[in-house]
Amino acid sequence: MSAPRVISLFFVRLILWYALFLVLWAAAGNVYIAAYRTIGTSVFRTLFPSWDVVIEAARRPTDMWDSQLVQYNRRTQTRGIQPFGARYQGFAPTSVLMSLILASPLRWRRRGRALLWGLAAVHVWIALSIWLMIVDGYSGANAVAIYSFSPSVDYVLSFVTFLVTASTVPRYALPIFLWALVTFRRGDWAAVFGPREARGTRRHGNDPSHSR
């Protein structure tokens, strides 16, 4: 198959898969958000028992901010609230990554393996983004601060937290990076776009028995 045809077919599949995920979000987005809040709260309360955090529904939900992170300081009896979007912080990068993998011009077995690694990696990223929000909320000049860092560290932490949780770029740049990392191997480009003879040689692993 020629390179233009392979690329065109990839983008058609990518659009169709992503459209399917948009339909799934419209049908079951509330289920995803509820699971995101419940699992996120449970994970961080279990891993960090000294933190008193809850992920709950936003008081005034919007398309962008559907949830909020509530942090308590038991010593001062104060709390802080950070709004965020489970859709854009969790579902968006996950659906983009899955669409890229499923649209890839590889065998289903390879795509299935890539999905497992990709989903594990993207959820580590999602957990990291929540962790950054919590640490940022518990530091600096916040009312619930329990950590005391230098002004430069506070600035860097706030900037990185904003970049990871509020910026649009990571939602789409990260899935592309993870897609390339977990999906492709050395030689895949030649196997997909190379001459038919080269693709056949690679498929048979250069086994002399295939030339008889």
Structural domain boundaries in the chain: 3-50+87-189
Q: Do the Cβ atoms of 174 and 92 come closer than 8 Å?
A: no
Alpha carbons within 13 angstroms on the beta-carbon side of residue 51 total 27
> If phi over 0 gives left and psi between -120 and 50 gives alpha, with beta otherwise, what is residue 151?
alpha
**Residue 19 confidence (pLDDT):** 98
DSSP class of residue 74 equals: T
**Residue 16: CB partners within 8 Å, gap ≥ 6?**
103
Give the distance from CA 163 to its chain's centroid. Answer: 14
Q: Quick: pLDDT tens for 45-66.
A: 999 998 999 999 998 888 889 9
pLDDT above 70 (res 206): no
Q: Do the Cβ atoms of 78 and 144 come closer than 8 Å?
A: yes
**Residue 144 burial class via C-beta count within 10 angstroms: exposed 0-12, middle 13-18, buried 19 and up:** buried
Q: Which residue has the higher pLDDT, 10 or 205?
A: 10
DSSP class of residue 50 equals: T
Could you give the CA distance from residue 194 to residue 139 in angstroms, rounded to a whole number? 54
pTM of this prediction? 0.84
**Residue 199 confidence (pLDDT):** 46
